[in-house]
Amino acid sequence: MNNVIVLPLIIPIFTAVILVFLRNYVVVQRVISLITMFAVSIISFLLLEVVQ
């Protein structure tokens, strides 16, 4: 469970690196960003549940 704590920080960083290489594909960038947003939200919610 200790490694899960860093996921809300690591996932957006890796996503940013991927999106830099997809500079010309705006639709793909939006889809990847949306998926990342949902993933980070779910992980953050699960971390909040563990703390409470």
Question: Domain residues of the chain, as ranges?
Answer: 2-51
pLDDT (0 to 100) of residue 3: 80
Do the Cβ atoms of 26 and 44 come closer than 8 Å? Answer: no
- In angstroms, the CA 27 to CA 33 distance is 10
pTM of full prediction above 0.75:
yes
pLDDT (0 to 100) of residue 5: 87
Instruction: Tell me the per-residue pLDDT of 1-50, one tens digit each, with 9 for 90 and over.
Output: 678 889 899 999 999 999 999 999 999 999 999 999 999 999 999 999 98
